[in-house]
Chain A
Amino acid sequence: MRQCYFCTNNIKEIDYKETEILKKFLDSYARILKKDETGVCAKHQRKLSHAVKNSRIMALLPFVSR
């Protein structure tokens, strides 16, 4: 089983500004990947989706691409 990326890197809060990290969890259409695709634990997946959404509001990440 894959371990959660954020747990292994000891990241407690996910920052919406770190787009390079967030991009790992988006597909080619800039959709957020599912929990079972990312291997992220439930707690961090929740925080991840919030971070991505905040990032989209600030136009750091696209709502849609292509």
Chain B
Amino acid sequence: MDKEQKMYEIGYLLTPLIPEEKLDEEVFVLRKLIEDKKGLIINEARPKMRKLAYIIKNFESAYFGWIKFTADPETIKEIESSLKNPPIGGDKLVRFLIVKVIKEAAVLRPARKIIKKKKPAEPKEKIEIKPEEIDKKLEELLSKSE
């Protein structure tokens, strides 16, 4: 059962016509929809007013929020279709997007940079040569050439 569960994320835009105090009610409708389909909500962000990149339905800005949850792949279609059709979506849901997310990526969010560790170069073994030995060798060479 657990293996069948996959993680999804719903991103949604709510109309700016909703007053701030009533936002929670709208989010609750979405949450209830997921929980009715036996989805488990893992993480969510409160909808925030933000400017849209382009005008949708004559709105220049909207509340953007998202919910992360796990659900069966089969139920996700039901969730999608019930969002598309009013009354759950209604006029209040401007737009939504369901994406699959990988579990690991959702939990871990490392922002650190990988710094390549430089291994300290191993000091080369210095061969110590005593000056007397050099003299000896030189003498040997000289004697040979003579």
Residue ranges of A at the interface with B (Cβ–Cβ < 8 Å): 8-10, 12-13, 16-17, 54, 56-63
Contact = CB atoms under 8 A, between A and B. Distances in A.
A10 B112 CA distance: 8
Interface in B51-74: 52-54, 56, 62, 64, 66
Contacts of B111: 9
A38 B54 CA distance: 25
B53 A61 contact: yes
A40 B60 CA distance: 33
A12 B53 contact: no
B113 interface: yes
Query: Ordered nearest first, which 4 A-B pairs have the shortest CB separation?
Result: A13-B105, A62-B53, A59-B52, A59-B53
B97 A57 contact: yes
A12 B62 CA distance: 29
Contacts of A60: 50, 53, 64
Given A9-B111, A9-B113, A62-B53, A54 B97 contact: yes
Interface in B79-136: 95, 97, 99, 101-102, 104-105, 110-114
20 contacts: A8-B113, A8-B114, A9-B111, A9-B112, A10-B110, A10-B114, A12-B104, A13-B101, A16-B11, A16-B99, A17-B11, A17-B66, A54-B99, A57-B95, A59-B13, A59-B54, A59-B62, A60-B50, A60-B53, A62-B53
A13 B112 CA distance: 15
A56 B53 contact: yes
Contacts of B62: 59
